[in-house]
Amino acid sequence: MARKIKIRAKVKDGTARVKFLMKHPMETGLRRDKKTGKKIPAHYISDVNVALNGTNVMTAYLGPGVSQDPYLSTEVMGANKGDTITVAWVDNTGEQASAEAKVK
């Protein structure tokens, strides 16, 4: 299943504000399928990593309580225009996605 990550990173006074939207269903494992009545298996992002020029600067641990298509924001100190921000996630089923953006 194709997953997308949209990233925006803008620097001001040496600190980049990084905002990212991750497309993911984020199922808790508690909801039931309306047609079959069976529980929908848990499927959620568990780890999110943000890197600046290949160096990890943030790790977030998420769980099933986070809404579908999570939107997160962080600030990265020491960033400059043209630097590369990478966002990568892994979910509880082992699926993963990543994307890169240049700091503006």
Q: What is the domain extent for residue 72? A: 5-102
Pairing of strands 84-91, 55-61: unpaired
Q: For the domain that residue 66 is a member of, what is the CATH number?
A: 2.60.40.10
Mean local confidence (pLDDT), 24-48: 95
> 12 versus 1: which is more confidently predicted?
12
Confidence band for 99, pLDDT divided at 50, 70 and 90: very high
Rounded to an integer, what distance in angstroms lies between the CA atom of residue 84 and that of residue 86?
6
Mean local confidence (pLDDT), 39-65: 96
User: What digits encode the pLDDT tens for the residues 65-93?
Assistant: 999 999 999 999 999 999 999 999 999 99
Sign of CA dihedral 102, 75, 22, 89: positive
Count of structural domains, the chain: 1
pTM of structure:
0.90
Rounded to an integer, what distance in angstroms lies between the CA atom of residue 74 and that of residue 58?
8
